[in-house]
Structure 1
Amino acid sequence: MNKEKILSILGLCMRANRLISGEEMSLDKIKSQKARLVFLASDAGFNTSKRVSDKAKTYQVQIIKDFTSDELSKAIGKSNRMVIAIQDAGFAKKIISLL
C-alpha cells in the first residue's frame, strides 16, 4: 500500500469537493448511499468506530482503517477528523487499486 499517494489523492478529492469529513455528515452519506468509500481513523474511539462500521456494513461500503486521525486531517487540511467519506466512484476506485 502506498500511503503517501493515497493521502495525496484524499487532498485532491477534497479540493474537487467530492469528499465529506466528520462523523455525522459521513453517516448521512452512507445512509443515502452516496458514499463510495469510507476512511475511519485507526485511533477513533470505540463508539465512533462501532457506529461507522455498523452503518458501512449495512450499506455495503468499504472501510479503510489504516490511517491515523492526524494523517487524515493533514491530508485534507482540516483538524481532528476521524471519519472521511469519498463520494466519487473514480477517486474511490483509484484508492482501492492502491491498497
Structure 2
Amino acid sequence: MHGPVFQLLGLCQRAGKSVSGDFAVRANIAKKKVKLLIVAADTSERIKQEYLRLGKTHNLLTVEALTKEEIGLALGKSPRAAVAILDDNFARGISHSLERGEV
C-alpha cells in the first residue's frame, strides 16, 4: 500500500487539497471546487450510486477505486466512502496512476 496513488492522496491531504466525509464532499461539489471524485469500490450500492449521480450531474471526473479502508489509510483518517480532490495537478496525477493500475 505504498504505491503512487496512496502517496499522492496522502500528500494531497497534507496540502489541504482534498476533502472527505459526506458533508464536505457534497459542499465542495456544490461550490464547483472538485476536480476528481474517488468513490470506494466497497461502498454500499445506494451511496455509490448517489456519488456517481452527483459526479455525472456536475460533469466531474468520477472514479470507483480502492476500498473505504484504503482511502482512509491514505488520508490518515478512518475509513471513507469518498474523497474529493480539489487541485488540478493532484487530480491529474492520481487519475493517471489509477488508469495505469499503479495503486
The answer to whether the 8 Å contact 1:23/1:48 transfers is no
- Please say if 1:42 is aligned against 2:38: no
Quote the offset at 1:97 in angstroms.
2.1
Query: Corresponding residue for 2:74?
Result: 75
Q: Deviations for 1:37-96, whole angstroms, at most 9, x for unmatched residues?
A: 011010111221121111110111111212001111100010021110000011011112
Structure 1's unaligned 5+ residue stretches are: none
Give the TM-score taking structure 1 as reference length: 0.91
The answer to whether the 8 Å contact 2:19/2:84 transfers is yes
The answer to whether the 8 Å contact 2:70/2:79 transfers is no
Aligned residue runs from structure 1 range 49-88, under 5 A: 49-88=48-87
Structure 2's unaligned 5+ residue stretches are: none
Matched position secondary structure for 2:79: coil
Give the TM-score taking structure 2 as reference length: 0.88
Q: What value does the CA root-mean-square deviation take over the aligned residues?
A: 1.3
Matched position secondary structure for 2:38: strand
- Partners of 1:18 and 1:60 in 2: CA distance: 19
Count of equivalent residues? 97
Quote the offset at 1:24 in angstroms.
2.0
- Partners of 1:29 and 1:46 in 2: CA distance: 22
- Partners of 1:13 and 1:96 in 2: CA distance: 13
